[in-house]
């Protein structure tokens, strides 16, 4: 009899164990099916928006699958109720995540170009989480929320003191959003003088990217305490001010003209509103001027300031103006000028003139022409002369190279020639009074001798051959320009006939005798 009872108990245990294993297998299978179904539905919903399920979905899917499988295979178990509470909270967060991705990220930002600040989206998500937890505690566990808050008052005070900086940052971020102080994409002028673009505004800090492509974050509480300078409000146009000191001997109007000339064609500077120059102060060794230009793209600030300062150096050099400095001791100052820029001081310029179209001049005549003419320095990329502008001088290249550009028959810009040392340009305007027929730009730093009408007129009387040579050069350039406008390749042009040279020589003599 005892042996029979023992066999019965063994058989009963086997039946119970087999039933439990079957339940577990069914629960696991049901959970996997639920996860796959949720994943398929999420992918189907997020596909039009180009989004993918994230960590919130993974957690919610696992919680919902565990609760659903447990409720089906192990109904009435205590742990199933706890899993259900977690699943409800996770489901609420999943619902908000789907709304955030489909409505705010996809519909508002992409279709309507309306940006909802990250901090507001995070605060709404926190509110949804808090509401879900409160609902589960109230309806699921029959707990009074007010009682829990009252009994944990001391702990809340302790936590509040410990998290006061964090809370201040959250309040600061909410204040930034409500006052519209700045938004993602705006450029800010920071207290240290740097300009930085707003890349993200979250619940704790603002992430910025400066002109050096360095990303950094500033706590929201620190930003709202200081002065916020938004370069994009009320419009993208904003002024940039730069100060320069010029010699007391320079008349203010001449100084202002030189500074304004240096801003022409500088990248980033707007033509409207126009740049302005103000006389700010009389310093110890210089008169201080302030240049105000207008920009639209703050990311070009460093490049724009560099180009203005660079162009101003060349402009002041050409006008024989200098930037003074305090002198403490009396000493003999030697010019710190590169050798190739100091050619005008010796006879090297006359040697350059002995070749090319001016080769018929004697050494004394060449030196005299150098003394009467003007030595000019232009920086890389500067336009020395421009097409269709008035001109009354020609230039001889003493050092460096220039590029000559014009227009073909269709109006497209073409490069006509590259000229080097000893070659000249601008002779057409000097000899005939016509407007410039091409634009000439410096390729690197270039040193030029400017020859004016008054400098050349006496030489035509002394050296009649010079008129013939200039006429030949003029006709050669005329033919080259005509070829280029029709699609020709070379600016050197064809050779002029004898009759053509004689006709141009007469025209030159008539123009210079007028």
Query: Mean pLDDT across the stretch 148-164?
Result: 55
| Residue 276 predicted with pLDDT over 90 | yes
Q: What angle do CA 275, 281, 287 make, to 5 degrees?
A: 80
Nearest-angstrom CA–CA distance, 247 and 17: 102
Nearest-angstrom CA–CA distance, 460 and 437: 24
Q: How far is CA 290 from CA 194, 254, 269, in A?
A: 20, 14, 16
Query: Mean pLDDT across the stretch 420-432?
Result: 83
Both tokens assigned to 511 = 């123009």
Look at the alpha carbons of 336, 341, 342, 344 in this order and tell me if their dihedral is positive or negative: negative
Q: According to the per-residue pLDDT averaged within each range, which of 39-43, 64-68, 387-391 is highest?
A: 387-391
* Average pLDDT value over all residues in the chain: 74
Query: Mean pLDDT across the stretch 105-132?
Result: 62
**Quick count: other Cβ atoms within 10 Å of Cβ 155?**
9
Q: What is the pLDDT of residues 352-396, one digit of tens each?
A: 776 677 777 777 777 787 777 778 889 888 999 988 888 888 888
Residues ≥6 apart with Cβ < 8 Å to 502: 471
pLDDT for residue 456: 79
| Residue 192 predicted with pLDDT over 70 | yes
Phi/psi at 244 (5° precision): -135, 150
**Quick count: other Cβ atoms within 10 Å of Cβ 192?**
5
pLDDT for residue 115: 52
Is 416 or 483 the better-scoring residue by pLDDT?
Answer: 416
Query: Mean pLDDT across the stretch 254-272?
Result: 90
Least trusted range by pLDDT, from 38-47, 88-97, 288-297: 38-47
Nearest-angstrom CA–CA distance, 446 and 424: 13
Asked if 194 and 212 count as a contact pair (C-beta separation under 8 A), the reply is: no
Domains in the chain (CATH in brackets) are: 14-151 (no CATH), 166-230 (2.30.30.60), 239-318 (3.30.70.100), 347-513 (2.60.120.10)
Query: Mean pLDDT across the stretch 147-157?
Result: 54
pLDDT for residue 337: 47
Residues ≥6 apart with Cβ < 8 Å to 240: 292, 293, 294, 295, 301, 304, 305
**What is the helix, strand, coil percentage profile of the chain, to 5?**
55, 20, 30
pLDDT for residue 330: 61
Is 155 or 79 the better-scoring residue by pLDDT?
Answer: 79
| Residue 482 predicted with pLDDT over 70 | no
Least trusted range by pLDDT, from 125-139, 145-159, 228-242, 436-450: 145-159
411, 418, 413, 421: which is closest to 441 by C-alpha? 418
pLDDT for residue 350: 67
| Residue 499 predicted with pLDDT over 70 | no
Least trusted range by pLDDT, from 113-117, 128-132, 180-184, 378-382: 113-117
pTM of the model: 0.56
b/e map of 343-380 (b: 16 or more CB within 10 Å)?
bbeeebbbebbeeebbeebeeebbebbbeebbbbbbbe
């Amino acid at each position: 009899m005892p042996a029979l009872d023992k066999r019965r108990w063994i058989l009963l245990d086997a039946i119970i164990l087999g039933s439990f294993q079957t339940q577990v297998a069914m629960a696991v299978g049901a959970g996997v099916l639920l996860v796959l179904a949720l994943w398929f539905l999420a992918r189907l919903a997020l596909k039009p928006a180009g989004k993918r399920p994230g960590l919130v979905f993974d957690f919610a899917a696992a919680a919902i699958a565990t609760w659903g499988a447990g409720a089906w295979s192990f109904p009435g178990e205590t742990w199933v109720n706890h899993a259900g509470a977690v699943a409800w909270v996770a489901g609420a967060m999943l619902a908000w995540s789907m709304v955030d991705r489909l409505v705010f990220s996809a519909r508002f930002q992409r279709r309507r170009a309306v940006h909802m600040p990250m901090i507001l989206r995070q605060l709404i998500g926190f509110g949804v989480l808090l509401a879900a937890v409160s609902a589960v505690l109230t309806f699921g566990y029959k707990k009074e929320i007010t009682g829990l808050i009252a009994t944990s008052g001391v702990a809340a005070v302790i936590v509040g003191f410990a998290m006061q900086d964090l809370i201040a940052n959250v309040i600061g971020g909410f204040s930034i959003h409500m006052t519209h102080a700045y938004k993602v994409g705006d450029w800010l002028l920071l207290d240290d003088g740097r300009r930085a673009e707003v890349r993200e505004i979250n619940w704790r800090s603002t992430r910025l990217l400066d002109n050096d492509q360095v990303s950094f974050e500033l706590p929201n509480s620190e930003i709202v305490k200081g002065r916020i300078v938004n370069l994009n409000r009320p419009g993208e146009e904003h002024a940039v001010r730069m100060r320069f000191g010029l010699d007391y001997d320079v008349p203010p109007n001449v100084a202002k003209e030189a500074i304004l000339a240096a801003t022409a064609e500088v990248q980033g500077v707007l033509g409207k509103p126009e740049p302005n120059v103000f006389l700010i102060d009389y310093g110890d060794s210089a008169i201080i001027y302030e240049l105000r230009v207008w920009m639209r793209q703050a990311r070009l600030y460093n490049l724009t300031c560099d180009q203005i300062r660079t162009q101003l150096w060349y402009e002041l050099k050409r006008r024989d103006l200098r930037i003074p400095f305090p002198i403490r001791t009396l000493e003999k100052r030697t010019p710190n000028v590169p050798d190739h820029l100091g050619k005008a001081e010796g006879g090297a310029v006359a040697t350059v003139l002995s070749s090319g179209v001016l080769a018929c001049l004697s050494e004394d005549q060449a030196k005299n022409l150098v003394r009467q003419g003007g030595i000019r320095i232009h920086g890389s990329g500067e336009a020395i002369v421009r097409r269709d502008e008035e001109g009354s001088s020609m230039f001889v290249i003493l050092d460096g190279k220039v590029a000559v550009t014009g227009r073909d028959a269709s109006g497209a810009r073409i490069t006509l020639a590259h000229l080097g040392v000893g070659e000249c340009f601008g002779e057409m305007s000097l000899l005939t009074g016509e407007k410039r027929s091409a634009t000439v730009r410096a390729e690197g730093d270039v040193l030029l001798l400017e020859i004016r009408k008054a400098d050349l007129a006496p030489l035509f009387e002394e050296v009649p051959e010079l008129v013939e040579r200039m006429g030949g050069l003029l006709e050669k350039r005329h033919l080259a320009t005509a070829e280029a406008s029709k699609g020709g390749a070379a600016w050197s042009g064809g050779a002029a006939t004898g009759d053509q040279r004689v006709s141009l020589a007469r025209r030159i003599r008539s123009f210079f005798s007028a």
